[in-house]
Amino acid sequence: MSLTAGSTAVGASNVGRPFAKLVSRPREIVAVRCSLNYGVAAILTKLQKDCATPLPVLRHVADAMAADMRAGISVDGGSDLKMIPSYVDTLPTGNERGLFYALDLGGTNFRVLRVQLGGKAEGIIATKFEQVAIPPELMCGTSEELFDFIASALAKFAEEGGKFHLPLGRAREIGFAFSFPVRQTSINSGVLIKWTKGFTVSGTVGEDVVACLNAAMERAGLDMRVSALVNDAVATLAATRYWDEDVVVAVILGTGTNACYIERMDAIPKLSEQTSISGIMIVSTEWGAFTGCLPLTEFDREMDAESLNPREQIFEKTISGMYLGEIVRRVLVKMSEVGLFGGSLPEKLFTPFALSTPDMCAMQRDTSRDLEGVGSILYDVLGVNSDLCARRVTVDVCETIAKRGGQLAGAGIVGILQKMEEDSRGLIFGKRTVVVVDGGLYEHYPQYRSYLQEAIVELLGSEISRNLVIHHSKDGSGIGAALIAAAN
Ligand code: ADP
Ligand code: MG
């Protein structure tokens, strides 16, 4: 099997749908079929200006990302970026054997996975995985409720052993991919720093999440123990490294976002006491918390102020799947107040998070003449009636927010590569380098993906970009967690 869902040499590919500017459309259509008023036009123009990501802005973001990484890795609290050492210094080699489980707690779904490894000769013999949606009430319940739910799903999954074999007398080993910021203290322990992505579960912050899971597994009567705790980015890096040793960075673009990379131990001043035989360690940047010089709008500021975690995770709120649709909705609300949808101001339009990022993406993919698909989504999801003009404006808003998100994500990736290049002189830009990306946003949003790639090419130039491969990995985090459990 392969984790690869597609890879692109960045220099080779480019943007999808051209940036649809209202002004560039034939005048008579605008005149005959549209009733764009000045208020709406002014909001759109200001939005496009505030969200603009010309090269100097992207360069600034990349430089700031590199500088923040350096500051954060020197000393705890040194920057917005926590730069958390993962304690993963043994990457899978392919020699691992046995039956391993993994649990992947993302922001929307949680996955359980079982993998039978047969060493160099047999590789991955079998895998089985199941995805469970996290019930919304558990995202704001108690720690025990959440972990009991996870443990019971895991118990059910583990019962169906099938053709998987476990030597007698051995507890099942599980790799735990946990995609929230954790202060890791060893490969199998870590304290939750804070919840993100809309979670407000009580009683977990400050606790060791491995202990929480172990306790829940005990309550469920499960003979399992966590042998590795990793976040999804770290797990994705480890999984893809199993197949391709040029992978140096892994990025998650799903509900939330994060990125990690392979760092030399001697370049991690805050771990100067720690030794590592391999001389390397995966470091999780926790880049969702980045704030440096981002092009933000009044809509971002309002969304942030009303969020469960105000003034935190600003980069995440600008580029990740949980938030893009909501930013668009907020722009549409303001436009509706100056008549975008005639007089109609239904309640749904004013409901936070009513418009999802997949809705936004679907609207951008509508190529019909009358934008009927856009019209139905606006009606079904937000309850508004729209004419062609309102639909076009809506698509332009989606385009603006997706472009900014994709381009900033691309600039962030360049920032990480820049930091690595500065330290290694030629080991990154002088040879084939692979950045692996996982997550539903990157996977399902082609325009976003194109803008991300476009920013990388712009920043690095076509020469260097040719050596850079952006590799899409699907569900690598689960397998990676199992592989790390195996390697440790
Ligand atoms: P998690 O972050 O929970 O691990 P995923 O990686 O599966 O989850 O990503 C889910 C996110 O991907 C959703 O929150 C959504 O924002 C985004 N997404 C899913 N489908 C689409 C789509 N068709 N278009 C755009 N974004 C999508
Ligand atoms: Mg995930």
Percentage of residues in the chain having pLDDT higher than 70? 91
Whose atoms come closest to the Cα of 134: which ligand?
Answer: 1
Residue nearest to atom 21 of ligand 1 (CA): 358
Residues with CB under 6 A from ligand 1: 106-109, 254-256, 321-322, 357-358, 361, 439-441, 444-445
| Prediction pTM value | 0.89
Give the position of tokens 């797990």. Answer: 235
Residues identified as active-site? 197, 232
Q: Which atom of ligand 1 is nearest to the CA of 320?
A: 16
What is the rounded (10 degree) CA torsion for 261, 266, 269, 275?
100
In a mutational test of the pocket of ligand 1, which residue from 399, 443, 473, 474 has the highest number of ligand atoms less than 8 Å from its CB? Answer: 443
Percentage of residues in the chain having pLDDT higher than 90? 70
Q: Which atom of ligand 1 is nearest to the CA of 325?
A: 16
Give the position of tokens 């993906």. Answer: 449
Q: Which atom of ligand 1 is nearest to the CA of 108?
A: 3
- Predicted confidence at residue 6, as pLDDT, reads 58
For 289-300, letters b (16+ CB in 10 Å) and e give bbbbebbbbebb
Higher pLDDT, 147 or 12: 147
Say how far apart CA 338 and CA 43 lie, in whole Å. Answer: 9
Q: Are 440 and 254 in contact (CB under 8 A)?
A: yes
CA 369 – ligand 2 centroid, Å:
36
Q: Are 29 and 484 in contact (CB under 8 A)?
A: no
156-185 pLDDT, tens digit per residue, is 888 876 544 445 455 688 999 999 999 998
Q: What angle do CA 102, 103, 105 make, to 5 degrees?
A: 150
Question: DSSP secondary structure string, 203-247?
Answer: T-TTSBHHHHHHHHHHHTT--EEEEEEE-HHHHHHHHHHTT-TTE
184-236 pLDDT, tens digit per residue, is 989 999 999 999 998 999 999 999 999 999 999 999 988 888 999 999 999 99
Average pLDDT over all residues of the chain: 89
Cβ neighbours around 12 below 10 Å, total: 12
- Measured on CA atoms in the order 295, 297, 303, 308, is the torsion positive or negative? positive
Residues with CB in 5 Å of ion ligand 2? 106, 232, 254
Query: What number is the average pLDDT over the span 62-74?
Result: 97
Judged on CB neighbours under 10 Å (0-12, 13-18, 19+), 476 is: buried
